Each structure stands twice: as structure tokens, then as C-alpha cells.
């Protein structure tokens, strides 16, 4: 029985061109960075701080 090659342990040059997705372009990487840096992460940060403040407010309403 032949062992199944592991994609983690195989060398990148051993892979066929059809096995992997095409590498992202510089433009695609730049757009992804900008969307993460200026859209996604600020929304997550504001949402986290808002949820924390809301939880403190609810705690104070229920305990005092």
C-alpha cells in the first residue's frame, strides 16, 4: 500500500500547477489590506468597546 502524501510535508515544487489557487496579485493584497485596516478592524473595535460599555451599563442597572 502506497502512503498518501501530505500537502503540509510535500515540497512546493512537487505540486502540480492545477492543485493550488493562483497567487494573489499585489493589487489584490493592497485592496485586502486597505479594507481590513480601514473598514473591518475599526468596526470590530468599535463594536467590542460598545458591547463592553453596554455590559457595564446593564450590570449597573441590575445591581444598583
Burial label for 5, CB within 10 Å (0-12, 13-18, 19+), is exposed
Residue 20 confidence class, pLDDT cut points 50, 70, 90: confident
Supply the pTM of this predicted model.
0.58
* pLDDT for the residue 47: 98
* pLDDT for the residue 6: 62
* pLDDT for the residue 33: 96
The vertex-21 CA angle with 16 and 25, nearest 5°, equals: 120
* pLDDT (tens digit per residue) in 35-54: 999 999 999 999 999 999 99
Amino acid at each position: 500500500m502506497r502512503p498518501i502524501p501530505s500537502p503540509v510535508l510535500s515540497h512546493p515544487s512537487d505540486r502540480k500547477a492545477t492543485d493550488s489557487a493562483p497567487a494573489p496579485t499585489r493589487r489584490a493584497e493592497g485592496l485586502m489590506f486597505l479594507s481590513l485596516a480601514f473598514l473591518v478592524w475599526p468596526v470590530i473595535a468599535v463594536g467590542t468597546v460598545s458591547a463592553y460599555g453596554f455590559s457595564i451599563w446593564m450590570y449597573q442597572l441590575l445591581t444598583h
